Amino acid sequence: MTHALEIRALTKTYKGGFEALKAIDLTVSEGDFFALLGPNGAGKSTSIGVITSLVNKTSGQVKVFGYDIDKKLEKAKSFIGLVPQEFNFSQFEPLINILVNQAGYYGVSKNEAHQRAEKYLKKLELWDKRDEPARALSGGMKRRLMIARALMHEPKMLILDEPTAGVDIELRRSMWDFLRELNQQGITIILTTHYLEEAEMLCRNIAIIDGGKIVEDTSMKKLLAQLTIETFVLDLKLAASFEELEAFAQQSEDIVYRVIDDHTLEVDLHKSQNLNQVFMQFQHHNIEVLSMRNKSNRLEALFVNLINQKSSADKSIQSNVVAGVN
């Protein structure tokens, strides 16, 4: 089976010696909706840069739909649509020209390019702005313009580097719907994002990169299954005093509660436990719950854990090395 993307032992060392990628391996199946997550400076954008030929790799192999970028770069490029992190279009050109020219770089005829530009500008609610220079657009509109531009040659794989950064919630959700629709049409999507909720909602598979290494590469389901404890925040009706709530929290043996104030409780729930047990305890003590929410996004909790584990392991190795040297 041909994979949309295969990366083997990819390294990138920048001038000055900074190792941005340390022999990473990654495979993305055709038709996948794939999340590449990592903290700032982890190597996400460098990886995308190498795949799209904006960054020269130091060593390793990258194949796009089976085409090695060292041997068939132009063929490999023809499959990729890129939505970069930063705005990278001419601020002075009208939207329609930006899109039609971009299609032209991929050999799409002018007539066809105009039809596609109309289709995507309408779909992304930018058609009314088609003759305005790009600098006149709002931040959200500029993001949508970059998505429209990336689709002009109808790529088989779309790479989005933080596409919803700085976009309001309503617009973000409409962009999610649009990306889901594209994925349903068969386009492989690789997404990097800082909004972990976004990755959890959209992606089927996920890789986490940190310090230039892939620290996790699995399906979203398997990753979320690793989450053993989930924390909920409960808003309570003011029926009890702070002291009474403290007493309630302390007497519970199997479930861990924390009293935040006289109407807010946090509860840590192990995956072997269920919410019914919590509510039974509340009912028993006549505590009324007004609302409940997750303290943090589930993926966020796992992500922080993974990055923290990695960081502690690195520190431990470092201190061992230092001890060894001394």
Give the per-residue contact string, 236-275, with another protein (x = CB under 8 A; - = no): ----------------------------------------
The single residue among 19, 29, 104, 256 that binds another protein, judged by CB under 8 A, is 104
Burial (0-12, 13-18, 19+ Cβ within 10 Å), 308: exposed
The single residue among 7, 10, 62, 108 that binds another protein, judged by CB under 8 A, is 108
Which of 159/179 has CB closer to another protein? Answer: 159
The single residue among 2, 8, 14, 312 that binds another protein, judged by CB under 8 A, is 14
Applying CB under 8 A, does 105 fall inside the site for another protein? yes
Sign, CA dihedral 224-227-228-232, equals negative
Q: Which stretch binds another protein (CB under 8 A): 90-98, 175-183, 232-240, 251-259?
A: 90-98
Which of 74/170 has CB closer to another protein? Answer: 74
- Greatest alpha-carbon pair distance for the chain in Å reads 74
The alpha-carbon radius of gyration of the chain (Å, integer) is 24
DSSP 3-state assignment of 185? Answer: coil
Which of 73/292 has CB closer to another protein? Answer: 73
Give the per-residue contact string, 38-77, with another protein (x = CB under 8 A; - = no): -----------x--xxxxx----------------xxx-x
Applying CB under 8 A, does 115 fall inside the site for another protein? no
Contacts of 27 (CB under 8 A, 6+ apart): 3, 5, 6, 7
CA 315 to CA 295: how far, in whole Å? 28
Helices (H) and strands (E) in the chain, counts: 11, 14
Phi, psi of 92 (to 5 degrees): -100, -10
Binding site for another protein (CB under 8 A): 14, 49, 52-56, 73-75, 77-78, 80, 82, 84, 86-93, 97-98, 100-110, 149, 153
